[in-house]
Amino acid sequence: MAKRRRLAAPDAAELEELEAGFAAKPNNNPFDTNSLVPPIAQVAGEAAQLSGMAAVTDRVALAQDQGDAERWRAASEAGLVVQEIALDEIDADYIRRDRMIEDQEAMDELLESLRANGLRSPIEVAQAEDGYGLISGFRRLQAFRILAETDARFASIPAFVRDASEGQGAYVSMVEENELRSNLSHYERGRIAVLAAGQGVFPSVEAAVDGLFAAASKAKRSKVRSFAAVHEALGDLLNFPVALTEKAGLRLAAAVRDGAQARLREALGGADVADAKSEWLLLEQALQSFAAKPKEASRGGRPQQVTRIPPRTLPNGGQLRAEVSPDGVRLHLEGRQLDVETVERLMEHLAEQIG
């Protein structure tokens, strides 16, 4: 008879070894529900892994958003972001315009293009105290205002908001736009230089010409200065200044340097001209009757530099302007009417002060 083997209970060390072996052994039976790891623990583990992956994805997306926001702020500060601005918030007279005459045919073409295709090139504005000031895009703004009267789609206009801290930059931007679109006339170039200097944007007309037309040749800037002199001397009396040819303008500038300003102003002041040809005929007659002084060799052909004094606003309205040139001083009162007696008292007071 076989002898039975007596079984002995395993000790604690053997039980721990068995448990470790079962835990390490994979379960190949997919239908076995007696898993050593509870299902809830498996779900929790998988959820934790997915949560970690989502957190990484979110961090990447957040970094991208932060980078985009930083780039957007930089572009906005540089004036590279287009904004929709209501037309009634834009001051078209923020700076003095260089273009004096607008072509109606060109305006009609622009209106038709805007109706069909919208605005392809945004205007440029600067942040002002109350709204925005127009820098460039005068024609586009005017066209939008015309269209907005019958079409609500044009109640606002796309615009770049530029930094207005540098007034010279605003003038340069305006001039460059018009030079690219259609060349300014000689007179318009000289006029805008005078206006920019008069507003204190440049210290003198000479500096305004050099700043506004820095890309032009030395000869071209010299011509601009000549037409600036014509505008300073005769601009308030000329009816058709844009029609002046280069030859005519240079001839007038030379005559003004030689002292013909009073004679030319006299001819224009009492005349009623219907067109540019009639106006030039009057000027030519005045030039022929004027006995020009011989030129001084040291003066050359450059127009005299005129320095404009910042205007003074009078308490009861109006402005007092002054400009100083090498051969005299000119005072001009705008917006006020003075009687003869008041003017005589002013002259007496000036005579006493000058001595």
Name all domains of the chain by residue range, CATH numbers in brackets. Answer: 75-165+176-182 (3.90.1530.10), 307-354 (no CATH)
| Separation CA 79–CA 99 (nearest Å) | 24
Could you give the 3-state DSSP secondary structure of residue 328? strand
319 strand-pairing partners: 313, 334
Find the distance separating the first CA and the last CA of the chain, reported in whole Å: 157
Task: Write out the chain's pLDDT in tens, 355 residues.
Answer: 556 666 566 666 665 666 666 555 555 555 555 555 566 666 666 666 656 666 656 665 666 666 666 776 666 665 567 889 999 998 887 766 656 566 678 788 889 989 888 888 888 888 877 888 887 778 888 899 999 999 988 999 998 887 655 566 666 666 666 655 556 788 888 888 887 777 677 888 888 888 888 888 888 889 989 999 998 888 888 888 888 899 999 999 988 888 888 888 888 887 778 888 998 998 988 888 875 445 554 455 555 566 777 777 777 766 777 777 766 777 777 767 777 788 788 888 888 777 6
319: left (phi over 0), alpha (psi -120 to 50) or beta: beta
| Separation CA 124–CA 159 (nearest Å) | 5
pTM, two decimal places: 0.52
